[in-house]
């Protein structure tokens, strides 16, 4: 077992993409599943922002931004060449305007928002992805890369908000791209189910 620890939450899209990069790079670490309503003090001590994912190295170094965890892991080992298929601008649009629209579409009561208007704002971004996928099977070419892994978990969340509507919207390439990633061995691996970690628990490895 590595002395590197990842605090994660299975369904969080930020944590999903961090886990995918760690797994595909073969980075060993202890996985600590977090209960969001009862976050462990050890995670709070490591990262005062107290949001997953948080990667704590044995020397005390902390990475608490998912995209930084991805690029760090792949910077050390990148067997599939994910860093060659990065697109910082496309990822920034996902993490900014698309995530803003997604939150207000998925949680309109929480944000006092018009879900339909924000759904349409999200679709505008998805049509950009659709156009990308006209040129190749993945967002930056024919094989999966960093951009795909960084963006896919958020598209998954968007699609699951209203499955009936999603089934009707005209985004055939995005739908196929999403379905392929959800059925991949990589995604199934990183979605391992674990009970929330508590101090004193036996360590559990992130499956590789």
**pLDDT value for 3:** 86
pLDDT value at position 186? Answer: 98
List, for residues 140-190, the tens digit of each pLDDT value. Answer: 999 999 999 999 999 999 999 999 999 999 999 999 999 999 999 999 999
pLDDT of residue 1: 53
Phi, psi of 4 (to 5 degrees): -90, 135
Does residue 129 lie in a domain region?
Answer: yes
pLDDT of residue 98: 98
Same domain assignment for residues 29 and 122? no
The reply to whether 97 and 179 lie within a common domain is yes
Its domain, for residue 114, covers 82-184
The reply to whether 72 and 92 lie within a common domain is no
d(CA 103, CA 29): 30
Residues 106 and 52 both lie in one domain: no
On whether both 134 and 76 belong to a single domain, the answer is no
CA 115, 117, 119, 121 torsion-angle sign: negative
Q: Is residue 201 part of a domain?
A: no
46 and 118 co-located in one domain = no
In this structure, are 22 and 115 located in the same domain? no
Tell whether 23 is covered by a domain.
Answer: yes
Name the domain count of the chain.
2
Please check whether residues 105 and 165 belong to one and the same domain: yes
Query: Is residue 160 located within the same domain as residue 87?
Result: yes
Closest CA to 81 of 27, 146, 137: 146
> Do 119 and 130 lie in a common domain?
yes
Tell which of 63, 80, 97 closes a domain.
80
**Residues with pLDDT less than 50, the chain:** none
Q: Are 20 and 149 in contact (CB under 8 A)?
A: yes
Q: In this structure, is residue 101 part of a structural domain?
A: yes
CATH of the domain at 177: 1.20.1050.10
pTM score, whole prediction? 0.97
């Amino acid at each position: 077992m590595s002395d590197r620890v990842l605090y994660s939450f299975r369904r969080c899209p930020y944590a999903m993409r961090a886990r995918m990069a760690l797994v595909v790079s073969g980075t060993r670490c202890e996985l600590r599943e977090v209960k969001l309503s009862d976050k462990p003090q050890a995670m709070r001590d490591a990262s005062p922002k107290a949001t997953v994912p948080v990667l704590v190295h044995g020397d005390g170094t902390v990475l608490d931004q998912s995209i930084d965890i991805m690029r760090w892991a792949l910077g050390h080992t990148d067997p599939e060449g994910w860093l060659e298929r990065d697109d910082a601008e496309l990822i920034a649009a996902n993490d900014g305007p698309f995530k803003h629209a997604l939150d207000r579409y998925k949680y309109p009561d929480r944000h006092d928002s018009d879900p339909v208007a924000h759904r349409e704002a999200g679709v505008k971004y998805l049509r950009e992805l659709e156009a990308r996928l006209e040129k190749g099977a993945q967002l930056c070419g024919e094989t999966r890369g960093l951009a795909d892994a960084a963006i896919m978990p958020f598209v998954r969340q968007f699609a699951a908000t209203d499955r009936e509507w999603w089934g009707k919207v005209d985004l055939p390439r995005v739908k196929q791209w999403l379905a392929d990633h959800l059925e991949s061995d990589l995604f199934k691996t990183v979605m391992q189910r674990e009970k929330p970690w508590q101090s004193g628990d036996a360590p559990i490895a992130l499956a590789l």
